[in-house]
């Protein structure tokens, strides 16, 4: 993901984009008594986002860093003109599209190619090919035989529909991006500029620095803190990795391990409540449930993910004799907390507004943003306070960063619109349900692979919109809990960040660590292995999502916790000392069996009991062997 624009290149466009999104989220037009259609605000934000991409991202890699060519100025101007035209004409066209089909077609004729070109520049050819395939289906779907045959439209009808209808480009995906996601991008930008990310790192160092392998644990905690807000694992790696990766290498971790730790920790921030890179709010919207339900469901899988990472890092430190961080580099917890305690208050306010006051995500985020601004101006951090100039630059930078997500939101709208108008969504669901009725396991594996492929390099929020639209409905139709289905596709979309061959977060971390990208990606997969296993388990037994009887939930959590510990030891090959191949297999097998909830399927309780027996045997054998070896 390129990060379309640096504020120094065109701060005005970024500033206006963010200001428009903030005003829209705050419903400023309603408070002022001005009638503005949602689609008008979205059209303005999309036009600005497209212009930012064309001015900030060159058409080819060879032209990167060079002057802006004349045709990029032309494309940016065209995006602004068509956006302004659409803002002005939408109330008339939207009220009766059938009387203005030619004008709607002209909008689509210009807007859709601009979106595709901006998408190519920011996300690469893979997503462009996917969108073009959907557009082609909308034009010729009637010639496809079988259950995937669809209703087709003429090129004029289809482009007009995509540009104007409120279930397409300017539908749910763009609305959520512009009202929720941009606010959290802004929140992350403010935290970065006011010292929040430094404070998180200091707190992580104070809490974890004195334990063995403390440098790696600092990376995990700091990246998890910041990753929940940033909404981009890649951006998180780039921002925190420059500090944590050298610290880990200096302590004795191999470069590929240091890079993998940062990639896994930053990726995990996207699945860690309460914010989950803003995906929690999207999931609540898709499922039509409260935000609290999503947060509660996400807690156990996220803790298992980070539990596996911590266990492996601790055992790796024991095996390699990696010491704690030198004491002179560890801040004391009290003074570290006191220096930036006010950074915790916006999170408290955010959670209170969402849970206690039942406010909307956008309103709650606005409150949190306001708290960061006021508290940073009053208290500052390390002698620095948020100035008006710094606030202005943060607003402009947010627009540059958010432009990529806006473009991907428009892309998701195109796909959703075509699936609706052509009937492809129904046909695809029907085919996959038919396939799943023969083998649910095969459908889950196929869905996981599709989500990994779709998720390559896409920011969290846009990724979730895409996989929730395409991959979740068939699972729900087969009787899987809607929450479990959406969590399943979300997890496998996220894990694409650390899964070769295109593990973007791992590759960025590898460049910082000076390690081989593929090698770093495979180490990251080993560290984050629970993200590949646990989703299958909570689909079969939603007890891991806090659904079901209380005793079953408690039992599943305890069993899974021990399972993560033993399986991680087996995968690493170390417990109290290096494990023999036989005992290594025993640890891994016992851990995986303990992970299986007793309610997963008929006879699952015996799998869990077998795992417990094997665990007792291998752990007991290791304890006895260690006791015998101690005198020697």
Predicted confidence band at 564 (pLDDT cuts at 50, 70, 90)?
Answer: very high
pLDDT, greater one: 554 or 601? 554
Average pLDDT of the chain?
86
The residue behind tokens 């799998």 is 607
Q: What is the pLDDT, as a whole number, of residue 458?
A: 66
Average pLDDT for 275-297: 81
Cα dihedral 586/589/595/597 (nearest 10): -110
Percent of the chain with pLDDT over 70: 95
Average pLDDT for 515-524: 89
Average pLDDT for 195-213: 84
Predicted confidence band at 197 (pLDDT cuts at 50, 70, 90)?
Answer: confident
d(Cα 58, Cα 72) in Å, to the nearest integer? 8
Question: Prior bond to 501 cis, omega within 30?
Answer: yes
Q: Which of 176-185, 251-260, 283-292, 503-512 shows the highest mean pLDDT?
A: 251-260
Average pLDDT for 124-146: 87
Q: What is the pLDDT, as a whole number, of residue 6?
A: 42
Residue 111 has pLDDT above 90, yes or no: yes
Residue 553 has pLDDT above 50, yes or no: yes
Q: What is the pLDDT, as a whole number, of residue 7?
A: 39
Tens digits of residue pLDDT in 590-606: 999 999 988 888 888 99
Q: Which two tokens stand for residue 604?
A: 């699952």
Tens digits of residue pLDDT in 15-38: 999 999 999 888 888 888 888 888
Q: What is the pLDDT, as a whole number, of residue 142?
A: 85
Question: Prior bond to 411 cis, omega within 30?
Answer: no
Predicted confidence band at 631 (pLDDT cuts at 50, 70, 90)?
Answer: low
Q: What is the pLDDT, as a whole number, of residue 615?
A: 93
Q: What is the pLDDT, as a whole number, of residue 44?
A: 95
Predicted confidence band at 144 (pLDDT cuts at 50, 70, 90)?
Answer: confident
Q: What is the pLDDT, as a whole number, of residue 8?
A: 41
Tens digits of residue pLDDT in 309-329: 999 999 988 888 888 888 878
d(Cα 27, Cα 443) in Å, to the nearest integer? 43
d(Cα 72, Cα 55) in Å, to the nearest integer? 6
Percent of the chain with pLDDT over 90: 31
Q: What is the pLDDT, as a whole number, of residue 370?
A: 92
Tens digits of residue pLDDT in 421-454: 888 888 878 888 888 888 888 889 888 888 887 7
The residue behind tokens 């910041």 is 226
Three-point CA angle 146, 149, 154, nearest 5°: 155
Residue 523 is inside which H or E element, if any? helix 517-527
C-alpha R_g of the chain: 25
| Domain residue extents for the chain | 549-632
> What do you get for the CA distance between the two ends of the chain, in Å?
55
């Amino acid at each position: 993901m390129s990060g379309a624009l640096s504020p120094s290149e065109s701060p005005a466009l970024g500033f206006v984009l963010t200001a428009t999104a903030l005003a829209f989220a705050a419903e400023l037009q309603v408070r002022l008594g001005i009638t503005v259609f949602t689609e008008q605000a979205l059209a303005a934000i999309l036009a600005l986002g497209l212009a930012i991409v064309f001015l900030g991202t060159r058409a080819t890699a060879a032209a990167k860093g060079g002057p802006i060519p004349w045709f990029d100025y032309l494309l940016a101007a065209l995006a602004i003109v068509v956006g302004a035209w659409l803002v002005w004409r939408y109330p008339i066209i939207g009220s009766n599209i059938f009387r203005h089909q030619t004008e709607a077609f002209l909008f689509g004729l210009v807007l859709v190619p601009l979106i595709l070109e901006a998408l190519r520049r920011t996300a690469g050819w893979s997503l462009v090919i996917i969108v073009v395939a959907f557009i082609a289906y909308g034009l010729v779907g009637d010639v496809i035989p079988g259950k995937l045959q669809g209703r087709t439209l003429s090129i004029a009808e289809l482009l007009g529909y995509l540009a104007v209808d409120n279930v397409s480009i300017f539908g749910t995906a763009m609305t959520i991006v512009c009202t929720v996601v941009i606010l959290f991008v802004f929140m992350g930008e403010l935290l970065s500029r006011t010292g929040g990310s430094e404070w998180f790192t200091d707190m992580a160092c104070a809490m974890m620095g004195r334990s063995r392998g403390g440098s790696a644990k600092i990376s995990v905690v700091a990246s998890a803190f910041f990753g929940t807000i940033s909404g981009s694992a890649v951006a998180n790696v780039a921002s925190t990795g420059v500090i944590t990766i050298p610290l880990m290498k200096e302590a004795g971790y191999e470069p590929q391990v240091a890079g993998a730790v940062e990639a896994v920790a930053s990726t995990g921030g996207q699945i860690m409540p309460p914010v989950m890179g803003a995906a929690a709010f999207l999931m609540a919207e898709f499922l039509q449930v409260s935000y609290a339900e999503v947060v509660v469901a996400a807690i156990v899988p996220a803790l298992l993910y980070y539990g596996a990472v911590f266990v492996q890092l601790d055992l790796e430190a024991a095996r390699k004799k990696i010491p704690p961080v030198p004491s002179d580099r560890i801040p004391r917890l009290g003074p570290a907390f006191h220096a930036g305690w006010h950074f915790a208050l916006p999170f408290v306010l955010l959670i209170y507004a969402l849970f206690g006051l039942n406010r909307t995500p956008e309103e709650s985020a606005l409150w949190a943003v306001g708290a960061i601004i006021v508290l940073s101006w009053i208290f500052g951090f390390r002698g620095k306070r948020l100035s008006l100039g710094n606030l202005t630059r943060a607003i402009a930078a947010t627009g540059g960063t958010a432009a990529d997500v806006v473009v991907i939101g428009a892309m998701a709208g195109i796909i959703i619109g075509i699936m609706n108008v052509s009937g492809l969504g129904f046909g695809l669901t029907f085919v996959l349900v038919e396939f799943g009725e023969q083998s649910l396991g095969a459908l889950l594996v196929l869905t996981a692979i599709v989500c990994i492929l779709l998720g390559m390099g896409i920011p969290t929020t846009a990724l979730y919109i895409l996989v929730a639209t395409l991959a979740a409905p068939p699972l729900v139709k087969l009787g899987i809990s809607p929450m479990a289905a959406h969590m399943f596709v979300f997890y496998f979309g996220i894990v694409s960040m650390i899964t070769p061959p295109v593990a973007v977060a791992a590759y960025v971390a590898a460049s910082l660590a000076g390690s081989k990208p593929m090698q770093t990606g495979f180490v990251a997969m080993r560290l984050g292995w629970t993200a590949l296993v646990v989703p299958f388990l909570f689909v079969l037994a939603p007890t891991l999502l806090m659904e079901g009887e209380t005793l079953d939930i408690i039992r599943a959590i305890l069993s899974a916790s021990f399972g993560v510990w033993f399986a991680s030891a087996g995968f690493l090959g170390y417990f109290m000392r290096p494990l023999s191949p036989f005992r290594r297999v025993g640890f891994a097998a016992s851990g995986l069996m303990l992970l299986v909830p007793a309610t997963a399927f008929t006879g699952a309780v015996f799998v869990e009991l077998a795992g417990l027996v094997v665990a007792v045997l291998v752990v007991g054998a290791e304890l006895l062997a260690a006791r015998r070896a101690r005198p020697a």
